[in-house]
Structure 1
Amino acid sequence: MLLLQLTLLFVLVLGGSSDYINIYHRAGDEVIMSCNSVNSSETSCSSIKWFYYRNRSTTDTIVSDGQINEDSPQADKLSLGRRCSLTITNISSEDAGVYSCYYRNTYDTNVYLNILTLSANQSTDPVGGVTLTCTLWVYRYIYCVKDSLRWLDEERDELKQDDDEVYYSRQKNCVSDLIITHQINHNRRYTCQFVINNEVKISADYTLVSTAPNKIIFIIIIVASVGLLTILVIVGLTVFIKSRRKTGAAAEDAPKRARVPDGEESSVTYVTVSYRNRNQEALPSSEVREPEEGEEEVTYATVKK
């Protein structure tokens, strides 16, 4: 087994492979890699081995005699398919590297899996803003040429260094940063492409959502809330003041009740007048008598102030 791994590593370093395949995917994709010499009649895959190389110093045996190596870090994502092809689900940057197929004790195929990722972070640059980072994850000893990673706007026009809205940091190997100093449009899409000889091998989009409108809405809500609270306070004070004024006016206009002080006698004169009917004989005014039965007696009172 050690001799086999050294042989495969020698092939990788010197590039002596007759089947040298480069494939490009985005993180999260499902990848299927074929072992080219295997024909459709192969069903058991007992003569198949798959090896994974992240770098020159590390070799993982991920499939041996048609069985997934459960000790492999990728074991839960690996499976064998038709013609003993190797399938990896939900790939990540950690899966980038070289996959080699060994069939019937013969080296068969090298597959170079390259994975493109695109992410956003608050920029640590002095000018601030947001930094989009585009990375092509490759076999560790492969390098990307200058300007192989390009940035496009929504109109598919390449972004330039002198644009008002963005500027570049320099591409370092297979990593390129796009620093956005200010975001005018609310939802704007940016595209990163990996290009070889003007041929686009893989691309990824990122829609950057501006937070500025959310801040404006938040400020508007606060101002509106304060304004509404102020209006409610003013209305409440106005109603309270008017209510107090009406209460005071009603108290002043109320009629004063007359009261007789305790201990004082009221000045009242009582006069008794006797009434008789017409058939009764008139008496001299000087004669005083008691009223007879049937006559009415009326008493009047006069109050002296």
Structure 2
Amino acid sequence: MKNGELLKWGEGKLSGLRVDGYDIEAEVLLRYVLRMDKISNFQFPISKEVEKKYKNLIFKRCRGVPLAYLTNHKKFCGLDFYVNERVLIPRPETERLVEVVLEIIVPSCQLSTVNCQLLDMGTGSGCIITSIIKGIENFKCFKGKECFKNFKFVATDISADALKVAKINAKRHGVLDKIKFIQSDLFEKLPVVSCQLLVANLPYVEEFWQDPSIQFEPKQALYAGQDGLDVYRRFFQQVWNYTKQGSVILIEIDLRQVKPLKKIIGKRKIEVLQDRFQKPRVLKITV
């Protein structure tokens, strides 16, 4: 069989998924098994081994396994991240958290004078904290290691498996030495220190929500009780011990949770920020 014929077969199978871009996904999987960045010739023969591997991936995709888990790759903030079933797949909506952090850290481009402890709670794949550090490096005023001398980056997760993935990604992007990773259930294993910035992308899905698109992702990283707020209730019972006046807390939320979260947080300055799809996605709390 030629690679073009195999691709047509894959497209035919995936067309029943009723998702946009099934033809693109079919080609992505073919490039993955062929270990090619681009296919320009669709007339060359392929081995039985490659054919078998490709068909197995197509069948898994037809069962709903996310493309990112099949290829172990997902783009986030323009960077390529390793992902597997131990972590949530990074979403484009979450990129807003990174953007807001960078807007706070470098308003005047005086990086070497910034004194900041940043905590990424529920780091998962590590995509948020890694993207933040790479974002700092991309600023025009970045002057190498001296810019990080007053920064402390901490990433936590309740899952040891998730932290392994986060470390893989930090190493891949050259920032492993800049991040302290801690396995912890919220603040349980953290020393009591004041953080200038706290970023939290914690579980916030209602336990009754059973969308097929998330059935293969780790439940511990998704579900948080009947209203999806069990974890954030615990978070806001503890977080004030780790902040000081002027600290900023950024959390990812769902539209329906804005009002109950405001009640939980109390009388503090709260801003609701939209994601790239113009939906409320981030709560910014200034202490």
TM-score interval, smaller chain: under 0.3
Taking CA–CA contacts closer than 8 Å with sequence separation of 6 or more, which of the two structures ends up with the larger relative contact order?
Answer: 2
Name the TM-score, length of structure 2 as normaliser: 0.21
More strand by share: 1
Between structure 1 and structure 2, the one with the greater Rg is 1
